[in-house]
Amino acid sequence: MTRILVVDDEAQLRRALDINLRVRGYDVDLASSGEEALRLVASVHPDAIVLDLGLPGIDGIEVIRGVRGWSSVPIVVLSVRDAEPDKVSALDAGADDYVTKPFGMDELLARLRAALRRSAPTQEEAVVMVGDLVIDLGAKRVQRDGQDVRLTPTEWQLVETLVRSRGRLVSQPQLLREVWGPSYVDNTNYLRVYMAQIRRKLEVDPSRPALFITEPGIGYRFES
């Protein structure tokens, strides 16, 4: 049975999540503080964590950092904090997704299922195919409708980084660090320019992207 650790200091919300997860066949552990969460992660080894940021004692960001020191368990943040810096901090610390309170239970459960699917142990695909688009990670080659698409080295690095994290939100600072280096983490205009170029080359309708999705002010994700 898939085991979920719910970490939130609101007793009513913990109960609601406990009930909704159990009726869907999940095993559930509950924690009301960051310290208790870290103890349970180490003792029960959950398959995923639903985590509030505003916790007494150790806050949610520190919990993420503590867990990421030794575990890759999926972490879905559930928080009333909707400011972009909070979201970016959580994603940079190692969270897999971010849901803002108030939330719909169906949305949260869908995000949780997606995080669990991404964490399933599978051999990484060397070739990713979406419609008429073929991205060969090994050969560093892209084809669309059977024709080679020429990407610059920087465009390829962005595409490769997003494709290897497909389905997962990659923050702007993370992309800037990986592609340009740590001294460029504030140059978000670079991303806007290059992502526009990538969409013109790879999207069917660049004005309505279906593959390279923007989360405004936060980051990007590749949807396959």
CA distance 71 to 177: 22
Omega prior to 102 cis, within 30 of 0: yes
Are 97 and 169 in contact by the 8 Å Cβ rule? The answer is: yes
Q: What is the H or E stretch that residue 161 is in?
A: helix 153-164
Say which DSSP state 169 is in.
Answer: -
**Terminal CA-CA length for the chain:** 27
Residue-wise pLDDT tens for the chain (224 aa)?
Answer: 799 999 999 999 999 999 999 999 999 999 999 999 999 998 888 999 999 999 988 999 999 999 988 888 999 999 888 777 888 889 888 898 999 888 889 989 988 988 888 776 544 567 889 989 999 988 889 999 999 999 998 999 899 989 988 888 888 988 888 888 777 888 899 999 999 999 999 999 999 999 999 988 889 999 87
Q: Evaluate whether 185 touches 179 at the Cβ level (below 8 Å).
A: no
Q: What is the pTM of this model?
A: 0.61
* DSSP state at residue 19: H
Beta-carbon neighbour count of residue 162 at 10 Å? 25
Q: What share of the chain is helix, strand, coil (3-state, %, to 5)?
A: 45, 20, 35
Tell me: domain 127-222, CATH 1.20.1180.10, correct?
no
* Domain 3-119: homologous superfamily in CATH: Response regulator (3.40.50.2300)
The helix/strand/coil state of 219 is strand
By CB atoms closer than 10 A (0-12, 13-18, 19+), residue 181 is exposed
Taking the domains of the chain in order of start, what are their residue ranges? Answer: 3-119, 127-222
